[in-house]
Structures are given as C-alpha cells and as structure tokens.
Structure 1
Amino acid sequence: MSPTSETLTAERILEATEEVLRRHGPAKATVVDVARALGVSHGSVYRHFRTKAALREAVTKRWLDRTSEALSGIVAAEDRDPETRLRDWFTALFDAKRHKAGDDPELFATYTVLTDENGDVVGAHIADLTGQLTLIVRAGVDAGAFHAASPEATARALFQATGRFHDPGYARAWEQPGVQEEFEAVVDLLVRGLRQ
C-alpha cells in the first residue's frame, strides 16, 4: 500500500530525509528523493516543510535534539549529587558525540555539513546544553558543593573548556589512544575548580 498525504507526518518525512541524506549525501539529496522514498509526491513533502532549507533545518534540529534529550535525564536525576551529575553529563555528551561520529560516519559527515548551514539551530542547541549545565552548577551551589559567582557564566566556561570532547571539529581525535584519559583529566580538573 502506498502512503497517502493523510498518513504522512513530519516525523516520517524526517526519518526518510535522514535515510536519503545517508545514501546520497547533502550535496545530492533532494526533496524529490525524499518523496520517492516515501512513495508520495514532492508536493506532499512541501506541505509539511515549505522549502528544502526548512526540511534540512528540521532534520538537523531533530539530530541535535536527540543529544539534548538524552542529557536532560541526567540533569533531572536529583537523587544524585551535583558532582556526579556533572561528571555523568559530560561523559554522556562525549559518548554520544563519539557514537554519532564512529557508528555512522557517513551520516555524521552529512550532519557536519548541515550544522554549518544551520547556525541558528546549532546556537539554540548550544544554549540548551549550557542551560542544562547551568541547572547542575546551580544545584551544586545551592547544595554548597560548588562555588560559582554566576552559574550561567560558569556553565558556559565548562562547556567551552571541554569543547575538544564534543565539538565535531575534533571528531578525528576522539578515537586516538589516550583520549578517554585526557577527557577524565579535564573533567577532574574542572570539578576540583568548582568545589568550595
């Protein structure tokens, strides 16, 4: 049975777009390819996403949101002390980025191109991540475990200080021998600096 525009959802379009991007790459993937993969007309896709750029932006946001959603559970885990949450958050971020780069290198390369095109989406993603860090730092300050005059500024500094372990520009270094030990040393240094 061929899908109809009534059963077509934005989520199905984004899933198909991801697969088309994986197969063809960002330079060659078209809305027609996405429509063909779904068995619908390209006009049906345009009813959900007005332009090719809007579709590419939405698929980029969806990809980045997966990381944010995974990390939000760590932020909300109030049964763990703030230092543990901070360490777990950075570990989960680094692991997520390494898996994205290593498990599906073609798709990771595609998203590297798409994130360059969609600076606003990336900026919102970084703001979300630093917002999560701010909540953890603030919880540490409130518990007396961390010292930070401004949890927001501290969170931004922590994020920037660990950039080598989550910025896609460093992806090639993530599989180098000793990178896990380097990551742990940086996080240890940052946590020691936050303690009262």
Structure 2
Amino acid sequence: MPPSTETLTAERILEATEEVLRRHGPAKATVVDVARALGVSHGSVYRHFRTKAALRAAVTKRWLDRTSQTLSAIAADATRAPQTRLRDWLAALFEAKRRKADDDPELFATYMVLTGETGDVVDEHLADLTGQLTRIIEAGVASGAFTAPDPRAAARAVFHATGRFHDPGYHRVWQRQGVEDDFTAVVDLLLRGLRAPS
C-alpha cells in the first residue's frame, strides 16, 4: 500500500484499529495490520501508542466513551425532572448497549475480549457512569423529588440493580420477548424506592 498523504493522528489510528479488529478479531489483529491499513510503518503507529496494549486500551476507551457522551447529555439536562432524567438515562444506556450487540455482533464480541484485557479503562467507564447517576440523584434530592441520604451509594445501587440491562454479559437476553417490560418494572420499582415521601 502506498504511504498515506494524510497526517497520521491518534484518531485515524483508532479508526483503522477498529476496522482491523472487525476484520481479523482480537486474537489475530496486529499493529502491523493497523499500519498496513493506514499505509504507514508500524513505527509510525508506535509513535502515537507506545505498545499494542496501549493501542487496544485506547480503542476500547473510544468505544465506551461513545455511550458515556450520550448519557452525559441526559444527566446534565436540567430541563427534565430528575425522575424523567433517571428513566431516560437508564433507557438510553440499555438501548446503546443493545444496539452495539445487535448492529455489529463481530465487533461487539471483539470488545467483549478487549474489555476483559483493559480493566483500568472499564473501571474508569463504570466510575463515569455511576458519577452521572449520582448527579441525577443529587438533583432529585435537591428538588425534593428523591430521598437518598447518600446519593453516591444510591447511584451504585441503581446501577447494579439494572445490570441485567447494560452489563454485556447479559447480551443474549436483551432480545428476549418481554425484556422491555422487565426493564420498565425494575425502573418503576427503583423510582418508587427513591421517591421522597409526600
């Protein structure tokens, strides 16, 4: 492949890495494959990402951040009541995870492997998500809609209680008949539990 005339950026490398992972899978994809797809030497890739592990962690973070950015906008939307914001946030998380599993199953399977390798990236992602939930619950407490002596603990509880609808390990049940009803029942129960007494 002839050398690329475009400036090599970290973002271009991550885009190419995602395509290489989709094509070859995590076991066979190499930095040389990424470099070849970009028309550069593998040394050029290593100038941006010092190791193969760093490249894989960065592409995993990029994948997870796509979900976080959408959810962050919902969490920050003060025009919605906290109850609505919480319901919408959980629904958006469920839909985003389900869409990733359904729309590109090969890439989803690849990321299941990569998230197992990149514990720090996953931990940061989970901390970001529970932080967003904490802010929603804090807003609910401040408005008098929710009662939660410790909003951070409540956020972790909500996150864990809804795990079946966003933990990738459950992806096989996300298309089962009645899963939306199950999701709604769990969210209704959580909102009743958070509701401040009248």
- 1:102 matched to 2:90? The reply is no
Aligned residues: 195
Q: Which residue of 2 is the match for residue 174 of structure 1?
A: 174
* Distance across 1 between alignment mates of 2:80 and 2:158: 20
Question: Which letter does structure 2 place at the counterpart of 1:3?
Answer: S
Q: What is the deviation of 1:76?
A: 1.2
Is the partner of 1:148 in helix, strand or coil? Answer: coil
Mapping for residues 175-190 of structure 1, pairs under 5 Å: 175-190=175-190
Is the partner of 1:7 in helix, strand or coil? Answer: coil
- 1:52 matched to 2:44? The reply is no
Any unmatched runs of 5+ in structure 1? none
State the Cα deviation string for residues 117-144 of structure 1 (Å, max 9, x = none).
0011000000000000000000000000
* Distance across 2 between alignment mates of 1:175 and 1:66: 22
Any unmatched runs of 5+ in structure 2? none
Is the partner of 1:53 in helix, strand or coil? Answer: helix
* Distance across 2 between alignment mates of 1:29 and 1:78: 43
Q: Which residue of 2 is the match for residue 145 of structure 1?
A: 145
Question: Which letter does structure 1 place at the counterpart of 2:75?
Answer: V
Is the partner of 1:177 in helix, strand or coil? Answer: coil
Q: Which residue of 2 is the match for residue 31 of structure 1?
A: 31
Q: What is the deviation of 1:166?
A: 0.3
Q: Which residue of 2 is the match for residue 90 of structure 1?
A: 90
Question: Which letter does structure 2 place at the counterpart of 1:7?
Answer: T
* Distance across 2 between alignment mates of 1:3 and 1:73: 36
Is the partner of 1:149 in helix, strand or coil? Answer: coil
Q: Which residue of 2 is the match for residue 7 of structure 1?
A: 7
Question: Which letter does structure 1 place at the counterpart of 2:117?
Answer: E
* Distance across 2 between alignment mates of 1:168 and 1:76: 25
* Distance across 2 between alignment mates of 1:169 and 1:79: 34
Is the partner of 2:174 in helix, strand or coil? Answer: helix
Q: What is the deviation of 1:2?
A: 3.6
Q: Which residue of 1 is the match for residue 194 of structure 2?
A: 194
Q: Which residue of 1 is the match for residue 69 of structure 2?
A: 69
* Distance across 1 between alignment mates of 2:119 and 2:154: 23
Is the partner of 2:170 in helix, strand or coil? Answer: helix
Q: Which residue of 2 is the match for residue 21 of structure 1?
A: 21
State the Cα deviation string for residues 5-49 of structure 1 (Å, max 9, x = none).
x70000000000000000000000000000000000100000000
Is the partner of 2:145 in helix, strand or coil? Answer: coil
Q: What is the deviation of 1:94?
A: 0.1
Q: What is the deviation of 1:87?
A: 0.2
Q: Which residue of 2 is the match for residue 163 of structure 1?
A: 163
* Distance across 2 between alignment mates of 1:158 and 1:79: 22
Q: What is the deviation of 1:181?
A: 0.6
Q: What is the deviation of 1:3?
A: 1.5
- What is the root-mean-square deviation of aligned Cα atoms in Å? 0.9
Question: Which letter does structure 2 place at the counterpart of 1:15?
Answer: E
Q: Percent identity?
A: 76
